[in-house]
Structure 1
C-alpha cells in the first residue's frame, strides 16, 4: 500500500478530540451519569484522551471502560473460529444500567464494528442511552449507523484505507489515507 496523504497530524487530532469533548459535555449537559467506553484497540486510547480533556474542561472525572467485541463480530466464520480469535477481555468496572454510554472508536466505516459493540454492551447491561464518538468517519456504511460525534469526515473510495496511528501504540499521532 502507498501512503496517499496525511489527513490529520498530531495537532489536528488534538483539536478534533478537544472539540468532541466539548460536544459531549454540551449534548449531555455535563458529564453526570456518563461513561466513555473505548472499543479495542485504538478506541480505548481515544476514550482515555477524551476523558482527560473532559476533566480539564469540567474539573470532574468521567469513567472509562474497555470493550472487546471479538466474539460479537459477524465476520467470524468456522474457518476463523478454528484459528481461535484472540479475546482480550472487556474491562468495565461500573454498572452501566441507566448511564449514558459514549462508545469511542477510531474509524467508522461499514458500521459492523459498532453493531458488534452495541451487542456486547447490551449483554453487559442496559444503559439509558448509547452515543457514538469516532475520530474519523469515512463513509461506505453497510448498516444504518451514524456517529453522534465525529472528529473528521473523510470521504474515501473503497480502494483506499484509513490508517490511524496513536502515540500509545505507534509512537506517532496521525491519520493517513493509503491506496492499493
Structure 2
C-alpha cells in the first residue's frame, strides 16, 4: 500500500465544526437547561471544554462539564492485559447525572465500543434523562448500533486508514489527518 498523509481539517476548520455542533446542541435541546457535557478521556475532554466555551459565548451561561474514564468498562480487557493493571485516569463529573441531558463528547467515532463503555460508566453514576453523542469526526465502520447526534465532520475511511486528531491542549496544534496504516 502506498504511504500517504493528508490534512483533512486545519485549526480554522475544527473551530467552525465545533461552532456548528454547539449551535446544534442548543437547538436540539431547546436551550441549555439540564445539559451536562461529558468528555471521554483524553481528547474528548478537550473537545467538550471547547464546546462548553462556545455554548457559553452563544447563550451567555456556562453549562456543567465533566470527564469520564472508560478504562474499566472496555470490552477488550482480557485476563492477560488486566494483569498489567490498566492506568486509570479518573472520572470527574461535578454534578449528579440523574435526570440530566448528558452529551457524551469524543474526538473520533469508529466502532462504537468506546461510546458503549462511556454509556455504561455514566449509567453507573445515575440515570440521566437522555444520553446524546457529539463527535468531532465520524469515520464509519460501526460494530455496534451507535449513531452520533452531532458530528463535526463525516470522513469515510477504509479500515486500512488511520484518522489522527491533534489538539492544541495535548498536541500543541489543531489538525485532523488521515494516513495509511503500516502493513
2:91 equivalent in structure 1: 90
Partner Cα separation in structure 1 for residue 180 and residue 81 of structure 2: 26
Matched residue, 1:58: 59
Q: Is the 8 A contact 1:34 1:63 kept in 2?
A: yes
Match in the other structure for 1:126: 127
TM-score, with normalisation over the residues of structure 1?
A: 0.98
RMSD: 1.0
SS of the residue corresponding to residue 124 of structure 1 reads: coil
1:2 CA drift (Å): 4.7
Instruction: Kindly report which structure 2 residues correspond to 1:1-180, keeping only aligned pairs within 5 A, or say none.
Output: 2-180=3-181
Q: CA deviation at 1:178?
A: 1.3
Number of matched pairs: 180
Find the residue that maps to 2:122 and give its secondary structure: helix
Q: CA deviation at 1:3?
A: 4.5
C-alpha distance in 1 between matches for 2:105 and 2:19: 14
| Cα distance in 2 between the residues matched to 1:161 and 1:142 | 17
SS at match of 2:118: helix
Contact 1:39 1:104 in 2 (8 A): yes
Q: Contact between 1:46 and 1:104, CA under 8 Å: does it hold in 2?
A: yes
Distance 1:81 1:160 in 2: 28
Provide the TM-score with structure 2 as the length reference.
Answer: 0.97
Distance 1:12 1:166 in 2: 12
TM-superposed deviation, 1:4: 2.0
Report the 3-state secondary structure (helix = DSSP H, G, I; strand = E; otherwise coil) of the residue aligned with 2:124.
helix
Distance 1:160 1:57, change over 3 A: same
* Unaligned runs of at least 5 residues, structure 2: none
Q: For the Cα contact (< 8 Å) 1:3–1:176, is it kept in 2?
A: no
1:39 and 1:112 map into 2 onto residues whose CA distance is 12
Q: 1:119-143, CA deviations, whole angstroms, 9 ceiling, x for partnerless residues?
A: 0000001100000000000000000
Give the distance between the partners of 1:59 and 1:96, measured in 2 at CA. 22
Residue 74 of structure 1 and its aligned partner are, at CA, apart by 0.1
